[in-house]
Structure 1
Amino acid sequence: MPENLRIALLTYSTKPRGSVIHTLELAEALQALEHHVCVYALDKDGSGFHRALSCDYELVPAYPVSGGVDNLIRQRIQEFVDYLSDSHLQARAYDYFHAQDCISANALLALRDRQKIPHFIRTVHHIETYNSPYLRQCQDRSILNPDLCLCVSQYWQSALKQQYGIAAPRVINGVNLDRFSVHPMEQDQIVKQQFQITGDPVYLTVGGIEPRKNSIALLHAFAQVLAQYPHAQLMIAGGATLFDYQDYRDQFFAEVETMGISVGKSLLLPGVIPDAQLPALYRLADAFVFPSVKEGWGLVVMEAIASGLPVITADQPPFTEFLSPDQALLIDPASPNAIAQSMLNVIQPAVRTSLVKHSRSLCDTYTWAASAKMHIKEYKTLYARNSLSS
């Protein structure tokens, strides 16, 4: 096995979703260990990544799609395959091809079947529940067929074993302390004015409006908070996704209207946040509220902790794998009342101070440098296994 590896990391988007952030941070951490990394990402609007990278990258053109989500996924897989079938890929002689999602894993599977690449790896961030038979088949292929399957939590490690019979080594996520910190920056006040953050208190969540983020339950909880703190604000940042949650969004906004919550005043919906502004957003909030019902791990929770915020999140895996009750307020995500009570409790000075104090040590454990070293160990294991079988 060569000392300095050449690694191709593939991700389905250039937008700042969890697995995309994982890909970019891992790529830069591997590059810092003196390996050569290139990120391949589907780019549907030609805008590229939301931030500059210290490693190489290739933007794979992704074109408009007619039809439903099945057609979308078929086309996205084929776009990856067509781009990677170009002779330039083999000319780079990568040692490892590593997919971070179902789409790129299916593309690498097609390339391996055509003997364009010798093997590939996939990280499973979480397992989706699809209604579409085609999407279920895509997911199954992307999990069952890689030469090595990794995962990011004990919860999904157990799920992979139970549902697929796969023993997937676990690799960790991290947090970038150069980006997320408690230290105020000049741009904080600019961001505050731009997004009209004037609330007292200000609650932040990141991930957009969608079912697994439990947005409607959070909205009902916030309505209860407003009854006691009429100047409170809830900011829901983010929202770029492959899937259409329009029915859920319609229900969310119908509830907003019914409850008389003012969008733009009490409820702030800035959409996808430019990468340079996201750290400021955390620092401008009083608490981070994340009652999600399904996550691969919860990168945004660690970003909030690194930014000095007390956290409220679901009392279930994967959050309970790395958060104890003295590090976060762990609540029943199905109960708006429980969420609301925690939102009221978390802004009490003694509660806030204790949570921030006890959670801070997590930033020393979950680092991208440690994650990169775990990945190299797994790459070496795959290399040794392939050497024995050849």
Structure 2
Amino acid sequence: MRIALLSYSTKPRGGVVHTLALAEALAAAGEDVTVWTLGRGGDDGFFRTVDPAVRLRVVPFPDGPPDETVGARILRSIATLRDAFDPTPYDIVHAQDCISANAAGRCVRTVHHLDHFTTPELAACHERAIVEPYAHICVSRSVADELSDGWGLKPAVIPNGVAYERFATTDPAARAAWRSRLGPYVLTVGGIEPRKGSLDLLEAYASLRTGHPGVRLVIAGGETLFDYRDYRARWETRAAELGVRPMVLGPVADEELPALVAAADAFAFPSLKEGFGLAAMEALAAGVPLVVRDLPVLREVFGPAARFGDSPQTLAAELGGALDSYDPARAEAGRELAARHTWTEAAAHHLAFYRALTP
């Protein structure tokens, strides 16, 4: 089967990580897979090495003018990918986000999570990418139910895989190097942005430091299409008001990320919107205590393997509990949960779904 997987970026965002891992698992199953994406900022490849069994098509996407708005950038992204992509060689065209779905034409769409945008061009992109694809996949039942309730759709549910061994068996020297550099720390991955609940985590960290003054908050990741400068400015102002100084690492090299995760004392995942929580599942694979936002989707995915908080105060309390008392039963439940989510199984379910769509 000839399969095209489309994404919007080469950067290490969750949907891009998903796209590459799925592509490699499909190729390992013997399928002919090509990943199409936009090469932003001069990128001519992805943030990590990709199995050579997967064909890559990185479409150049030069920076726009300094005054380019988010809406204009979205429209230019769609047009650039659409002009380069030819769907005719493929049996399945599968888009992983609203930009690539708008560019692809007739396609399968994975809806990782639903957003509510105020930028008109982005809101229209989001809506078209739900209503126009002819088939849909979600990575959790909670998001599938949102599509059913809001649009009358009946998506298939195929959970993410996780690179279990990569996070469960990290190099002790690499972990020690992060500990030496950072000391005790709570880690979050995903950058500083509204959807990630960054302001709530900042408030929680300030409360946490009352009983744990030596623990640092470390923030990794953060590449995104959107302009969150105003939110980042509010975050920095609030950090100064609270008298806290989190360590903001920005994007971390792919080969360094597993040890950074494994060396953490706890992993915080206070997102306001999620479809699955791949970064949090990676933390469980590493045996790191996990505290997440109390959302239905995260209850569905993580169950007894995580601690849950619904406010800065309860997030702080649960992080404090995770730091004060290691829970071996919860840690083992987390490892077992992560180990069950394999990309091999996810690829098999995708192939069954694709075959049901093709003559």
The Cα shift of 1:255 comes to 1.0
CA distance in 2, matches of 1:46, 1:132: 26
* CA shift digits 1:333-381 (9 cap, x unpaired): xx211111111100233x4323202222112321111110110011011
Name which of 335, 341, 350 aligns with 2:317.
Answer: 341
The Cα shift of 1:208 comes to 0.6
CA distance in 2, matches of 1:147, 1:336: 40
CA distance in 2, matches of 1:260, 1:363: 36
Equivalent in the alignment of 1:198: 183
The alignment status of 1:221 with 2:204, answered yes or no, reads yes
Q: How does 1:1-390 map to 2 (within 5 A)?
A: 5-47=1-43, 48-54=45-51, 55-66=54-65, 67-85=68-86, 90=88, 93-109=89-105, 119-192=106-179, 196-199=181-184, 202-262=185-245, 267-324=246-303, 326-332=304-310, 335-349=311-325, 351-383=326-358, 387=359
* Contact 1:310–1:346 (8 Å) recurs in 2: yes
Whose radius of gyration is greater, 1 or 2? 1
* CA shift digits 1:252-302 (9 cap, x unpaired): 10011112223xxxx110001110110010111011111111112100111
The Cα shift of 1:191 comes to 4.3
Compute the TM-score of the two structures, normalised by the length of structure 2.
0.95
The Cα shift of 1:192 comes to 4.6
* Contact 2:6–2:100 (8 Å) recurs in 1: yes
The Cα shift of 1:183 comes to 4.0
CA distance in 1, matches of 2:41, 2:118: 28
The Cα shift of 1:204 comes to 0.5
One-letter amino acid of the counterpart of residue 305, structure 1: L
CA distance in 2, matches of 1:229, 1:364: 32
One-letter amino acid of the counterpart of residue 300, structure 1: A
Provide the identity percentage: 39
One-letter amino acid of the counterpart of residue 58, structure 1: R
Aligned residues: 354
* Contact 1:297–1:319 (8 Å) recurs in 2: yes
Compare 159-168 and 178-187 and name the one that shifted more.
178-187
* Contact 1:174–1:302 (8 Å) recurs in 2: no
* CA shift digits 1:136-178 (9 cap, x unpaired): 2221211111121111111111111111111111111011123
Q: Which stretches in structure 2 are left out of the alignment for 5+ residues?
A: none
The Cα shift of 1:131 comes to 1.2
* Contact 1:311–1:355 (8 Å) recurs in 2: no
One-letter amino acid of the counterpart of residue 20, structure 2: L
* CA shift digits 1:3-30 (9 cap, x unpaired): xx11110100000111111101100111
* Contact 1:173–1:366 (8 Å) recurs in 2: yes
Compute the TM-score of the two structures, normalised by the length of structure 1.
0.87
* Contact 2:140–2:301 (8 Å) recurs in 1: no
Compare 153-162 and 19-28 and name the one that shifted more.
153-162
* Contact 1:207–1:236 (8 Å) recurs in 2: yes
* Contact 2:223–2:251 (8 Å) recurs in 1: yes
